[in-house]
Structure 1
Amino acid sequence: MKNAKNIYELLNHIEINLEDYAKEELNDMEKQKLRKAFKRRQNRIFNSKKIGVVAVALLLALGFFTQTDLGKAVYAATENKLAEISYSIGEALGIEKNIEPYSNVVNQVVESNGIEMKLTDAIIDKDELILSIITNTNKPVEGINFDYDIFINGKKIMRYGATGVGGAIDDSKTRFFSAYSVNIAGIDTAENINIKVALKNLTYYTGNASTDKVKGKWEFEFTANGSELTANTYTVALDYAFNIGNEKYTLEEFRYNPVNQKIFGKVKDRSERSYEIDLRGKDNLGNEVEFFLTSVSGEDLVFKYQNLDGDLSDEITAITLTPYAARLPEKSGRSGDNWEQAGETFTISLNQ
């Protein structure tokens, strides 16, 4: 299960008017559902090229201290400490299985304008590049975000989609983790590829809607491949369709491995309306299972498993799902409560 502290970070993104409700105590099942709702919000908030991590903190001025000899000595100690800190992709994504065999360890620390960033590891899952980054702000802040560019074999990746999660590593509120997944479809990842990750334009959130900006550059270069994970990836052909209004959705393939579990499909006759779509159900052992729509590019769409209740068990032989959809408000784009069943129940039989 994911680290419980992330539940409190999600409160920054939930709007609640307590005056609208009578005071009632929640039973254990209701509390579990509330936690899952918070986690679902976390997965969907960081769906952009900017990765933000939020925490509640005090403000500590750094000033020109790092420019003095003593400051440089303190910085060197801090850098060494950051070099010793690790926050792997598995930890960041809440994956309980051991995925270290598929991880390409980088462990590079780069400093720019007093800010240290460390790229801990990377995983290539066929058409997806997953990265884990630690940021040391050297002063407590309420949140950060940054831009980034990805280069593969010397060429900049253009118009790619990305999703991510992030949070504070400890109570200092100066060290944060970010894990994000970048779509690199069309690139042969079976062999070694040269990867360059260029982080830039760090923004601090310091409270009262105020921000500070740091123009820096944090670049990491390494070589990686996804051959070992590919060897442990399985696929199941699907033939299932459902409609939302005039839009026609077809699910074509379920791909799963220890790192990711995805359902690929197509959508045709798309309208201007936007929908949030989930595939909800249970496995044959009775565990709850949920996939959420994580990517739509042209006619291509991808649903990804949410490990709200932990990893998918290695013992399961079937997953039964039902599609549900909620129309997103035109102005806010936030999830609504108007969820409706969008199709018939279907079953995926695993052939591992």
Structure 2
Amino acid sequence: MNMKKLDIDGIDVSSKLDDFILMGIKEGYKTKETKKKNYKKVIGLAITIIVILGFSNSKFVNASIEKIKNSLGNFAIDKQFTVDEKDKMQIGETIEDKKIKVTLDECYIDNGRIMFTTTLDSRGRGDYAQEINPQVYINNQLMDVFENDYSGDIIHNEDKTVSLLSSFSLDGIDTSKDLDVVIDYNEIGVTNIFDVTRQIKGKWKFSFIIDSSKVDTDSITREINKSIIIDDYELFVKEIKIMPYRIELLTNSVKLKNNPHSLPVHYIIKDDQGNEYIDGGGKVRNGIMTLRYLIDTRDIKSLTIVPRTDFYNSEPTIHYDKGIQVDIR
């Protein structure tokens, strides 16, 4: 497959999946030398609504054709981050209908999540395809956008195409067996020069088999079960799950005083080299929040979990003195 190379501030990226990882890490990863503290609030599950209802209507998206920052943060890095070729599937299949080309680029899967990248190209129509609502089936089971914690990110390419990263939790899927994957894009949202978006129905359906041996099953789970007291509020960190290219942190949500709603508490993950990562969203169920982090963990031996709160302030506070250190190797 002839993958386009993207150079981001001197970092060479050789695949679509790496584009998204680098984009997320460049915007969500801080090197030790970086002193900026300009964190932005994470939009979390709202990205699901953005993908379904349309990127062009979101305040997070500029209607002009440019790269768009995703929800993983805004720090820069100066080293390369890639998924090993052995850990991902190159697909590279293109289907054209209604003069819209949809390319399923590549896929990465571990025993908890599937991620795949898609490129939209409607330049031949004179409009701008940028919205998807993928119907994904794995072994004939439909992935639900809420139950399977769907999230998406977008890159507006300089050549007037759009690349999208889609991600689903594999809750309820037996990853010890081969996975029969069907991805059906039966509608594509296109925006014209007047910034009016409409849905185009068509046939863009992909299917492929993921051999069970391709599922990345290496993982480490550390039970933490520690409380952190901040401003009379009790935060609770339950456990951390470490996969080769991502982390899941299980914590509680917090009910504020004089407020009937529970609010999530976000955390900074700091590795043993001093690099810091902001979560890229997550899900809340029964008062337990699962936060996701896109991190190459293969060489990391220990982590520090640092709470980041904004209970009553417009700017979040990073509580480095409340950090919990976890040895993972």
Q: Matches of 2:222 and 2:213 in 1, distance apart?
A: 19
Find 1:297's aligned residue among 266, 285, 288.
Answer: 285
Which residue of structure 1 aligns with residue 135 of structure 2?
A: 149
Once the two structures are TM-superposed, the CA of residue 99 in structure 1 deviates from its matched residue by: 2.6
1:1-352 paired onto structure 2 within 5 Å: 3=8, 37=40, 46-48=47-49, 50=52, 52=55, 56-57=64-65, 96-138=81-123, 139=125, 141=127, 144-158=130-144, 159-169=147-157, 171-173=158-160, 175-225=161-211, 227-242=213-228, 250-267=236-253, 272-273=260-261, 275=263, 277-280=265-268, 282-306=270-294, 311-312=296-297, 314=299, 316-326=300-310, 337-340=314-317, 344-351=322-329
- Structure 1 position 338, deviation (Å): 4.0
Between the aligned partners of 1:166 and 1:126, the Cα distance in structure 2 is: 24
Find the aligned partners of 1:102 and 1:264 in 2 and give their Cα distance. 25
Between 220-229 and 245-254, the greater mean CA deviation after superposition: 245-254
The answer on whether the counterparts of 2:42 and 2:279 sit within 8 Å (CA) in structure 1 is no
Q: TM-score, normalised by structure 1?
A: 0.65
Kept after mapping to 1: 8 A contact 2:129/2:162: no
Equivalent residues of 1:248, 1:267 under 8 A apart: no
Name the SS of the counterpart of 1:46 in structure 2.
helix
**Secondary structure in 2 matching 1:304:** strand
Residues 143 and 212 (structure 1 numbering): CA distance in 2 closer, same or farther, change over 3 Å?
same
Identity %: 15
Mapped to 2, the partners of 1:261 and 1:235 lie a distance apart of 10
Larger Rg: 1
Gap runs ≥5 in structure 2: 1-5, 10-18, 25-32, 67-78
Question: For 1:199 and 1:161, how far apart are their aligned partners in 2?
Answer: 18
Distance 1:245 1:114, change over 3 A: farther
Tell me if structure 1 keeps the 8 A contact 2:98–2:202. Answer: yes
Displacement of 1:322 in angstroms is 1.8
In structure 2, C-alpha distance between the alignment counterparts of 1:225 and 1:268, rounded to whole Å: 41
Q: Taking structure 1 as reference, are residues 192 and 165 closer, same or farther at Cα in structure 2, changes over 3 Å only?
A: same
What's the counterpart of residue 70 of structure 2? none
1:136-190 Cα offsets, whole Å, 9 max, x none, are 1125546621212111212323343211211123x221x2111111122011112
Q: CA deviation at 1:52?
A: 3.9
**Distance apart, 1:325 and its partner CA:** 2.5
CA displacement at 1:251 relative to structure 2: 2.8
Matches of 1:301 and 1:125, distance apart in 2: 20
CA gap of 1:129–1:313, structure 2 versus 1, over 3 A, is: closer
Letter in 2 for 1:279: Y
**Could you tell me how far 1:114 is from its partner in structure 2?**
1.3
SS at match of 2:86: helix
1:218 and 1:274 map into 2 onto residues whose CA distance is: 40
Kept after mapping to 2: 8 A contact 1:97/1:258: no
Aligned residues: 280
Distance 2:222 2:308 in 1: 22
The structure with the largest helix share of the pair is 1
Whether the aligned pair in 2 keeps the contact of 1:56 and 1:141 (CA below 8 Å) is no
Residue 69 (structure 1) aligns with: none
TM-score (norm 2): 0.69
Please, which runs of 5 or more residues in structure 1 have no aligned partner? Answer: 11-27, 59-93, 329-335
Q: CA deviation at 1:236?
A: 2.1
Quick one: structure 1 residues 105 and 292, their matched pair in 2 at CA, closer, same or farther if it must change by over 3 Å?
closer
Query: RMSD of the TM alignment (CA)?
Result: 4.0
1:23 corresponds to which residue? Answer: none
> Could you report, residue by residue, the CA deviation over 1:93-116 in whole angstroms, capped at 9, with x for unpaired residues?
x97133321213322222221111
CA 1:242–1:319: 2 relative to 1, 3 Å: same
Whether the 8 Å CA contact 1:277–1:292 is kept in 2: the answer is no
